[in-house]
């Protein structure tokens, strides 16, 4: 029996026993269900070096303490005191602590399988290429790069080196999100008609790297708007074919040239479904996905925060249990890199590149006010 047949059988059984879904372990995602058919090695651990020891890396490191198949075994930072502090806290020996000048030496570090790049967006391309040349798998925070050209160069470098490139799409493994996707695939919503994605908050410190175009590659769209872009794709279940966009800036001092404050954008899909989305650094309380179809609806609110995600559909509240997103993500990525598992929603470099192509098109459309056609697949 093929893997596709096994997956279909598994999904059919889930549909038949939907009432039992809330009882599933938060770690029993669809990718892990595939593991039963592809074969796994439970004793095999993905050994990960964290690059860029900031606040999000701290969240990842803490979450990984609960992982069953992933472990922090390396550190890369430009701050010696952080290397010392984190090395002591997470049991990483000095031989596996590196700075940005010498981390190419990970090539000879047998205790590192992959590097998770958690640095400013503009640094991703060069760092990913160096990691790939060192023969290690690349896990990169989103957005994967500052534009599609750089993203393609990362893909090419990883392919040439024979390593895999994954992107930190933690919500692709989140249980309530996966339940909405399961319901859509089962036809519970009928034909999808409309999606709305609201992503935003009021940003603080004006000197932070996220408001520096040279480091961030843009503004709110690169940081928070990518959630609505990616969410529209995995909720609707299609890739868009056109985009329009409008940009608003009320504070040109804080949001300098090339750093977007607020962008509204619209996406059109092959089926005729449309999406209306908002990305902003100037408004709070915006973290909501809403989707409606011919026979039902789904709402996630909050939809992208660290949790717990809350959701409901026309059938009632979503009750799947919450677990640390990064814990699930890293265990699932271990299955992808070590066992060749296939997740329900891709997290590979091709997925990241599609979002970058949309981002490029949104910026272009916001400059002209016109519609931009999209071709996301080669």
* Cis ω before 143 (30° cut-off from 0): yes
Which of 107, 103, 142 minimizes the C-alpha distance to 124?
Answer: 142
Which of 214, 218, 212, 239 minimizes the C-alpha distance to 354?
Answer: 239
Residue 142 appears among annotated catalytic residues? yes
**Active-site option among 142, 176, 354, 357:** 142
Q: How far apart are CA 176 and CA 321, in angstroms?
A: 8
Q: Give the residue carrying structure tokens 């408004």.
A: 283
Largest CA distance in the chain: 61
Q: How far apart are CA 197 and CA 374, in angstroms?
A: 19
**Active-site option among 98, 227, 234, 281:** 227
Q: How far apart are CA 347 and CA 306, in angstroms?
A: 18
Does residue 134 contact residue 104 with C-beta atoms inside 8 Å? yes
- In DSSP terms, 293 is beta-bridged to 192
Q: How far apart are the first and last CA of the chain?
A: 30
Q: How far apart are CA 139 and CA 135, in angstroms?
A: 13
What contacts 188, CB < 8 A, 6 or more positions away?
Answer: 295, 296, 313, 315
Q: How far apart are CA 347 and CA 168, in angstroms?
A: 7
What contacts 289, CB < 8 A, 6 or more positions away?
Answer: 195, 196, 197, 198, 228, 231, 235, 298, 299, 300, 301, 303, 304
**Residues present in the chain in total:** 378
Q: How far apart are CA 268 and CA 193, in angstroms?
A: 10
Does residue 218 contact residue 146 with C-beta atoms inside 8 Å? yes
Residues recognised as catalytic: 142, 227
């Amino acid at each position: 029996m093929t893997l596709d047949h096994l997956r279909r059988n598994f999904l059919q059984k889930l549909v038949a026993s939907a009432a039992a879904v809330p009882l599933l372990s938060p770690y029993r995602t669809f990718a892990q269900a595939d593991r039963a058919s592809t074969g796994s090695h439970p004793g095999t651990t993905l050994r990960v070096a964290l690059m860029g020891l900031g606040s999000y890396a701290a969240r990842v490191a803490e979450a990984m303490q609960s992982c069953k198949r992933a472990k922090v075994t390396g550190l890369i930072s430009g701050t010696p005191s952080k290397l010392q502090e984190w090395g002591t806290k997470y049991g990483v020996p000095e031989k596996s602590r590196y700075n940005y000048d010498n981390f190419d030496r990970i090539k000879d570090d047998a205790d590192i399988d992959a590097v998770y790049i958690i640095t400013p967006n503009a640094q991703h391309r060069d760092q990913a290429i160096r990691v790939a040349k060192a023969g290690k798998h690349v896990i990169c925070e989103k957005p994967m790069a500052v534009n599609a050209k750089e993203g393609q160069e990362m893909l090419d470098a990883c392919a040439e080196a024979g390593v895999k490139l994954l992107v930190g799409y933690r919500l692709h493994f989140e249980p309530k999100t996966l339940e909405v996707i399961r319901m859509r695939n089962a036809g519970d919503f009928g034909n999808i008609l409309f999606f709305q994605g609201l992503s935003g908050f009021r940003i603080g410190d004006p000197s932070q790297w996220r408001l520096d175009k040279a480091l961030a590659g843009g503004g709110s769209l690169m940081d928070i708007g990518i959630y609505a872009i990616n969410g529209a794709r995995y909720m609707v279940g299609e890739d868009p074919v056109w985009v329009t966009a409008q940009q608003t800036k009320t504070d040109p001092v804080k949001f300098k040239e090339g750093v977007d404050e607020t962008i509204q954008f619209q996406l059109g899909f092959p089926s005729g479904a449309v999406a209306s989305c908002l990305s902003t650094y100037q408004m709070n309380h915006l973290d909501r996905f809403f989707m409606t179809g011919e026979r039902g609806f789904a709402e996630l609110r909050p939809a992208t925060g660290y949790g717990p995600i809350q959701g409901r559909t026309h059938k009632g509240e979503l009750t799947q249990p919450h677990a640390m997103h990064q814990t699930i993500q890293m265990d699932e990525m271990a299955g992808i890199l070590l066992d060749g598992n296939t997740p329900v929603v891709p997290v590979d470099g091709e997925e990241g590149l599609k979002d970058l192509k949309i981002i490029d098109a949104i910026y272009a459309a916001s400059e002209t006010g016109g519609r931009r056609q999209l071709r996301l697949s080669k």
